[in-house]
Amino acid sequence: MKQTVLTGIKPSGTPHLGNYVGAIRPCIEASKRDDLNSFYFLADYHSIISTHKPEELRQSTMEVAATWLAMGLDTQNAIFYRQSDIPEIHELTWMLTCMTAKGLMNRAHAYKARVQENEENRAKDPDKGITMGLYSYPVLMAADILMFKANQVPVGKDQVQHIEMARDIAARFNHHFGEHFVLPEAVTDDSVAVLSGLDGRKMSKSYNNTIGLFLPEKKLRKQIMKIKTNSLEPGEPKETKGCTLFEIFCAFATKEETKEIEKRYAEGIAWGEMKQFLFEYLNETIAPFRATYEELMSNPAAIEEELIKGRNRAREYSIPFIEELRKAVGFYPLG
Ligand code: TRP
């Protein structure tokens, strides 16, 4: 039996180098494996929890989809779809909601963090600004996963708790209504690089320190020139460890190229020279994909077509499965 791998990508903001190295690249590699069933989707139901600007959502959905396609996602093999194109997810969410202990949701890290923030700000209501969408987020995520009987869910460490909740919810449903769901496992990969951003902290949209994956050439150069370095002079030997320029370079370079650069650091390469080198290297690596990306961005219908193809394939699973579940909970014709 083939293992099923599934992961969701929340469209919010423009994909950056950190997203690519940490999440997109490993998934694209997995999308080519024919020993796996893989499902990748744009988690736009999740996006509307935090984005209430339709134009922004549309733009970001387009950018994320175009990025995955341009970087070589194998959509013949893997199923690539948009969550909001699968209405069965929604129906399943409600079935699961009715099997989810409220106390379980009270313990979700993301929710607890928001409550804590309110308490620190001495808000009158500890739930200030928290919608049911945010609160129930893990149930929706469980529906995403359980719908396609995923065995493995590759995620960042911050999402592991959500996968555990999906298991809990699935087990409770199975216990009541019979063995319908596969219990998923979170897969976190320590070997994938976590990139630092412009200021040396983890590259993240929330720190505003990102470098866009498909920035036009000039802007890419400008961003790279902004990366923080120490004040060592040209000619002084430099450490590669903890150096953002080196880290980004390594995430793209071969072993030999990395060795070569380590030597240059020991010899005291000037920061300006290293920055120029990194820019040229990245630019050359990314340019062909950027061209495909730009082509896709100027032809949204082509992106839409891929997503529709993915939707149709995904619904071959979700439609019969929701039928089975409807019967399981007791929705069937009376006569
Ligand atoms: N919550 C995930 C994130 O913010 C995105 C996501 C939604 C997801 N549904 C999922 C990930 C299902 C894995 C499986 O990154």
- Using a pLDDT cut of 90, give the percent of the chain over it: 94
Residue 335 falls within a domain, yes or no? no
Q: How many residues does the chain have?
A: 335
Q: Tell me the residue range of the domain where 262 lies.
A: 214-295
In CATH, what number is assigned to the domain containing residue 256?
1.10.240.10
pTM over 0.85: yes
Residue 8 CA to ligand 1 centre (angstroms): 4
Q: Which atom of ligand 1 is nearest to the CA of 141?
A: 9
pLDDT of res. 78: 98
Q: Is 326 helix (H, G, I), strand (E, B) or coil?
A: helix
Q: What is the DSSP string of 143-195?
A: HHHHHTT-SEEE--GGGHHHHHHHHHHHHHHHHHH-S--PPPEEE--TTS---
Choose which residue among 38, 161, 162 to substitute to test ligand 1 binding: the one with the highest number of ligand atoms within 8 A of its C-beta: 162
pLDDT of res. 13: 82
Residue 178 falls within a domain, yes or no? yes
Residue with the smallest CA separation from ligand 1 atom 7 is 8
State whether 121 and 241 are in the same domain. no
Q: Which residues contact 221 (CB under 8 A, 6 or more apart)?
A: 279, 283
State whether 147 and 286 are in the same domain. no
User: How many structural domains does the chain have?
Assistant: 2
State whether 79 and 61 are in the same domain. yes
State whether 250 and 139 are in the same domain. no
Q: Which atom of ligand 1 is nearest to the CA of 9?
A: 5
pLDDT of res. 126: 96
State whether 124 and 78 are in the same domain. yes
**3-state DSSP of 45-71:** HHHHHHCCCHHHHHHHHHHHHHHHHHC
pLDDT tens by residue, 190-244: 888 889 999 999 999 989 999 999 999 999 999 999 999 999 999 999 999 999 9
The answer to whether the CB of 59 falls within 8 A of the CB of 18 is: no
State whether 57 and 90 are in the same domain. yes
Nearest CA among 296, 263, 299, 326 for reference residue 91: 326
pLDDT tens by residue, 68-112: 999 999 999 999 999 999 999 999 999 999 999 999 999 999 999
Contacts 24+ apart (CB under 8 A), 127-133: 131/49, 133/48, 133/49
State whether 136 and 273 are in the same domain. no
State whether 102 and 245 are in the same domain. no
Residue 42 falls within a domain, yes or no? yes
Residue 25 CA to ligand 1 centre (angstroms): 16
- Give the residue ranges of DSSP H helices in the chain: 17-19, 25-31, 44-50, 54-70, 87-97, 102-106, 109-120, 132-147, 160-177, 217-226, 244-252, 255-267, 271-297, 300-329
pLDDT tens by residue, 102-130: 999 999 999 999 999 999 999 999 999 99
Residue 299 CA to ligand 1 centre (angstroms): 27
In CATH, what number is assigned to the domain containing residue 157?
3.40.50.620
Taking residues 283-287, what's their average pLDDT? 97
Residue 224 falls within a domain, yes or no? yes
State whether 18 and 76 are in the same domain. yes
* Residues with a CB atom less than 6 Å from ligand 1: 6-8, 10, 43, 46, 141, 144-145, 153, 155, 159
pLDDT of res. 155: 93
User: Mean pLDDT score of the chain, rounded to an integer?
Assistant: 96
pLDDT band for position 319 (cuts 50, 70, 90): very high
pLDDT band for position 12 (cuts 50, 70, 90): confident
Choose which residue among 83, 144, 185 to substitute to test ligand 1 binding: the one with the highest number of ligand atoms within 8 A of its C-beta: 144
Cα separation, 309 vs 305, whole angstroms: 6
pLDDT of res. 1: 86
Residue 268 falls within a domain, yes or no? yes
Taking residues 295-312, what's their average pLDDT? 98
Residue 198 falls within a domain, yes or no? no
The answer to whether the CB of 305 falls within 8 A of the CB of 66 is: no
State whether 187 and 97 are in the same domain. yes
State whether 45 and 188 are in the same domain. yes
Helix axes 109-120, 132-147, angle to 10 degrees: 170
Choose which residue among 155, 157, 164, 206 to substitute to test ligand 1 binding: the one with the highest number of ligand atoms within 8 A of its C-beta: 155
pLDDT band for position 288 (cuts 50, 70, 90): very high
Residue 199 falls within a domain, yes or no? no
State whether 150 and 53 are in the same domain. yes
Residue 70 falls within a domain, yes or no? yes
